[in-house]
């Protein structure tokens, strides 16, 4: 039986945490403040940002950051003390704000994704085609279980789980996002972003439950953020093996249903285990913190909270990304990011 010490060590390497020294963060801030955020030329800017980041961060930090994508045991990474906008507007409760209002935050997110060799995307029908989604307590969506909700707990889930996972064939839709990143704009010490490492959960599930979750006997509905594209996709497996034999997941506690009694029992077993909260890894993101995790290898959640609606509520900037643009179907030929969902 695995010892407690060994299990703790395995869990510890799942998240890579890096803290940028002040001198590096300050130098990067200076470079980014002189970089225009022009989305009409995003392709060129994307590669320019990569070169800038490499120069400022140096070889050792660059290698450490890139290890997140290259190391299959790493499922999440937090980079603290990144450059940030010094004078940000009030929390945008509408969920709409021009990237030019927070250029440093947007440029840091794009820079780090470019440095990692991954590609930011936005899905048709979600976030009105905007690349950056503001994770805020929207005044009109407080009872919605989405990144714009607040009062209800947003339970364990993978984002866009009805789309094909990394090892599944594509149909007419793009692949499920492989990465999800958050940039801390404004924090609330009461509210953590909770991550759960998939491998830790599967180790504790009965083998029979894992087998049932691996069968195509589940229906997955579109999450609330796709308000204009509600649909259900049947005959999907919740657990799938990836190309390196790693486990991938499309579980969404609010939107996954068993298509028969045995499948529903397996889902309930998974839910019950997760709700013990023994696998929770809470992360408090401070302004200037960048978090990224492998969407299909990590479940995430957020507890409910009561917003103050005073302009100083919690605010994160979210971006999706994929490894390979050949795994997406472009919604518009003239748009680098928008893909079919």
Domains delineated in the chain: 13-189+284-339 (3.60.130.10)
* Mean predicted confidence (pLDDT) in 191-202: 96
> What is the β-pairing status of strands 119-123 and 338-339?
parallel
* Per-residue confidence band for 8, with pLDDT thresholds at 50, 70 and 90: very low
In the numeric block, the tokens 């999440």 are attached to 76
Percentage of the chain with pLDDT > 90? 72
Q: How high is the pLDDT of residue 13? A: 52
Nearest to 95 by CA among 337, 301, 291, 315: 315
* Mean predicted confidence (pLDDT) in 2-25: 69
**In the chain, which ranges are E strands?**
15-19, 76-80, 119-123, 133-135, 154-157, 179-186, 193-197, 218-221, 232-236, 239-241, 247-249, 256-258, 281-283, 290-294, 298-302, 315-322, 338-339
Q: With H, G, I as helix, E, B as strand and everything else as coil, classify residue 193.
A: strand
Q: Which residues of 250-265 are buried (b: 16+ CB within 10 A; e: fewer)?
A: bbbbebbebeeeebbe
**In terms of pLDDT, which residue wins out, 114 or 1?**
114
Query: Which region, left, alpha or beta, applies to residue 69 given φ > 0 means left and ψ of -120 to 50 means alpha?
Result: alpha
Residue 148 assigned to a binding site: no
Residue 265, pLDDT above cutoff 90: yes
């Amino acid at each position: 039986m695995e010892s407690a010490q060994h299990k703790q060590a395995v869990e510890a390497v799942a998240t890579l945490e890096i803290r940028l020294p002040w001198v590096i963060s300050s130098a990067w801030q200076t470079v980014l403040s002189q970089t225009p955020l022009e989305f009409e030329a995003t392709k060129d800017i994307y590669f320019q940002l990569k070169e800038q980041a490499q120069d400022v961060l140096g070889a050792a930090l660059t290698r450490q950051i890139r290890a997140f994508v290259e190391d299959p045991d790493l499922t999440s990474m937090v980079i603290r003390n990144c450059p940030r906008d010094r004078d940000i507007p009030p929390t945008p409760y509408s969920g709409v704000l021009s990237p030019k209002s927070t250029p440093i935050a947007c440029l840091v997110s794009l820079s780090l994704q470019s440095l990692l060799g991954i590609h930011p995307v936005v899905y048709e029908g979600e976030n009105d085609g905007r690349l950056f989604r503001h994770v805020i307590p929207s005044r009109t969506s407080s009872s919605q279980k989405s990144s714009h909700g607040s009062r209800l707990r947003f339970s364990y889930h993978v984002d866009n789980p009805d789309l094909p996972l990394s090892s599944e064939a594509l149909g007419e839709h793009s692949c499920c996002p492989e990465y999800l990143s958050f940039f801390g704009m404004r924090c609330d010490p009461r509210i953590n972003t909770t991550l759960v490492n998939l491998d830790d959960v599967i180790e504790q599930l009965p083998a029979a439950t894992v087998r049932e979750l691996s069968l195509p006997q589940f229906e997955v509905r579109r999450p609330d953020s796709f308000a204009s594209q509600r649909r259900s996709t049947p005959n999907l497996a919740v657990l799938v093996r990836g190309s390196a034999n790693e486990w991938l997941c499309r579980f969404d506690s609010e939107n996954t249903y068993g298509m028969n009694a045995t499948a529903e029992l397996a889902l309930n077993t998974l839910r019950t285990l997760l709700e013990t909260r023994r696998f929770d890894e809470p992360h408090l993101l401070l302004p200037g913190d960048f978090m990224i995790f492998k969407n299909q290898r990590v479940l995430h959640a957020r507890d409910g909270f009561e917003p103050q609606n005073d302009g100083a509520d919690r605010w994160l900037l979210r971006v999706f990304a994929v490894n390979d643009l050949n795994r997406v179907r472009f919604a518009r030929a003239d748009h680098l990011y928008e893909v079919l969902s």
